Amino acid sequence: MAVSGPLGTFRLPPLPTIREIIRLFKLQAVKQLSQNFLLDLRLTDKIVRKAGSLTNAYVYEVGPGPGGITRSILNAGIAELLVVEKDSRFIPGLQMLSDAAPGKLRIVHGDVLTFKIERAFPESLKRQWEDDPPNVHIIGNLPFSVSTPLIIKWLENVSHRNGPFAYGRTQMTLTFQKEVAERLIASKGSKQRSRLSIMAQYLCDVQHVLTIPGRAFVPKPEVDVGVVHFTPLTQPKIEQPFKLVEKVVQNAFQFRRKYCYRGLGMLFPEAQRMERTGKLLESADVDPTLRPTQLSVSHFQSLCDVYRKMCDEDPHLFAYNFREELRHTSEKRERDDGES
């Protein structure tokens, strides 16, 4: 493992600019992968500052690409930086940075969705969940195509305290399309309130810390970019299994413009839907005529607690999927029509 020197002594030597790296290695953003490069080092420095103090920190950067944010992290007094990059075209440029920062930068050519970060850093960094966050940070300019599945994966890791959160309440500073960033922080009653709002906010303190105009990226995306900072809570606001919370929240937001009883009703088989939806809402003390966007995290806490009791009483309930029931009903109707 890299051992850091005296505080603030390391600075990268003069290097080709990010633009020159892109030309040198003939790099082009791949539209299908929703890649966008950030070339302005003043902006990458700003993103890294939003992560908080990185002095002697161990940092995990996802999607480094040509290495703009990577340079800013290396200049922030860190102990070690681990980057995971799936696209082999970026490895030579990152290797150039590694050569310029001996012992500071480790490069893994792999997929962030499957990489086992919990084995990557020293055991000594681990902290109790109730303690202050460990000196471990996740930072990344995420391709838009993976940002939502990745944050959902990491939120599930937060709930299980594994993956990057095996070290404790690891903080994350990540880029998203501005609209997604707004959903992550949206409060009750906001038009942007969504499944992501609840899933993030019941587990983390979530802050939209910076907006970067789309014109700062190459190629320019059609939207601006939001930088969001996550700090896992010492106690989740809903104390139920992640998959159960996810199921209740997903169903609630299925019909976001209709009353909440419509979506929540899909938790139950059609034959008992009206009765059991009424029982769920009454027991949770939730007004059935609220829209999904008007439900608070406390509302979802009550709904999840009551739904859990209902699942405990009926072991088959959690496995119920209304789409499966629709499919079976449709197939049966087709068979009956064919026989008549």
Q: From its phi and psi, is residue 333 left (phi > 0), alpha (psi between -120 and 50) or beta?
A: alpha
Instruction: Please tell me whether residue 107 adopts helix, strand or coil conformation.
Output: strand
First to last CA, the chain: 73
Residue 38 marked in a binding site: yes
**pLDDT over 70 (residue 26):** no
Q: Do both 253 and 198 map to the same domain? A: no
Residue 20 marked in a binding site: no
DSSP sequence for 16-80: --HHHHHHHTT----GGGT--EE--HHHHHHHHHTT---TT-EEEEE--TTSHHHHHHHTTT-SE
* Nearest residue to 85 (alpha-carbon basis) of 35, 23, 18: 35
Q: Give strand pairing partners of 226.
A: 176, 211
* Domains of the chain: total: 2
Q: Do both 217 and 272 map to the same domain? A: no
Which pLDDT score is estimated for 3? Answer: 42
> Average per-residue pLDDT in the chain?
90
**Per the domain annotation, does 23 fall within a domain?**
yes
Mean pLDDT of 21-39: 62
**pLDDT over 70 (residue 31):** no
**pLDDT over 70 (residue 338):** no
Q: Do both 70 and 187 map to the same domain? A: yes
The last residue of one of the domains, among 232, 250, 283, is 232
Which CATH number fits the domain that encloses residue 213? 3.40.50.150
Which pLDDT score is estimated for 222? Answer: 80
pLDDT digits (tens, 9 = 90+) for 209-268: 999 998 888 777 788 999 999 999 999 999 999 999 999 999 999 999 999 999 999 999
- pLDDT tier, 29 (very low <50, low <70, confident <90, very high otherwise): low
CA 282, 284, 288, 290 torsion-angle sign:
positive
CA 159, 165, 166, 167 torsion-angle sign:
negative
Residue 189 marked in a binding site: no
pLDDT digits (tens, 9 = 90+) for 254-289: 999 999 999 999 999 999 999 999 999 999 999 999
**CA separation for the pair 103, 25 (Å, rounded):** 24
Which pLDDT score is estimated for 24? Answer: 61
The last residue of one of the domains, among 210, 232, 254, is 232
Which pLDDT score is estimated for 219? Answer: 73
The structure tokens listed for 196 are 């992501």
Which pLDDT score is estimated for 27? Answer: 62
Q: What percent of the chain has pLDDT over 70?
A: 89
**pLDDT over 60 (residue 128):** yes
Angle at 115 (CA atoms; ends 210, 106), nearest 5 degrees: 75
The structure tokens listed for 301 are 């806490």
Q: What is the CB-side half-sphere exposure of residue 31 using CA atoms within 13 A?
A: 4
Q: Do both 124 and 150 map to the same domain? A: yes
Mean pLDDT of 314-339: 81
CA 326, 331, 332, 337 torsion-angle sign:
positive
**CA separation for the pair 217, 198 (Å, rounded):** 30
Q: What is the CB-side half-sphere exposure of residue 88 using CA atoms within 13 A?
A: 0
Residue 281, Cβ density class (10 Å: 0-12 exposed, 13-18 middle, ≥19 buried) = buried
Which pLDDT score is estimated for 19? Answer: 72
The last residue of one of the domains, among 211, 232, 253, is 232
Q: Do both 200 and 256 map to the same domain? A: no
| Neighbouring C-beta atoms of residue 158, cutoff 10 Å | 24
Q: Do both 33 and 150 map to the same domain? A: yes
Structure-model confidence comparison of residues 4 and 274, the more confident one: 274
- pLDDT tier, 195 (very low <50, low <70, confident <90, very high otherwise): very high
- Please give the model's pTM, rounded to 2 decimal places: 0.90
- pLDDT tier, 334 (very low <50, low <70, confident <90, very high otherwise): low
Residue 63 marked in a binding site: yes
Which CATH number fits the domain that encloses residue 251? 1.10.8.100
**CA separation for the pair 176, 262 (Å, rounded):** 30
pLDDT digits (tens, 9 = 90+) for 100-111: 999 999 999 999
- pLDDT tier, 7 (very low <50, low <70, confident <90, very high otherwise): very low
**CA separation for the pair 190, 292 (Å, rounded):** 10
- pLDDT tier, 145 (very low <50, low <70, confident <90, very high otherwise): confident
Which pLDDT score is estimated for 4? Answer: 42
Q: Do both 223 and 290 map to the same domain? A: no
Which pLDDT score is estimated for 211? Answer: 96
Mean pLDDT of 130-135: 98
**pLDDT over 50 (residue 126):** yes
DSSP sequence for 210-274: EEE-GGGEESPPSS-EEEEEEEE-SS-SS-S-HHHHHHHHHHHTTTTTS-HHHHHGGGS-GGGHH
Residue 173, Cβ density class (10 Å: 0-12 exposed, 13-18 middle, ≥19 buried) = buried
Residue 36 marked in a binding site: yes
**pLDDT over 90 (residue 168):** yes
Q: Do both 86 and 194 map to the same domain? A: yes
| Domain that includes residue 313, residue range | 242-335
* Nearest residue to 30 (alpha-carbon basis) of 88, 112, 94, 109: 88
Residue 280 marked in a binding site: no
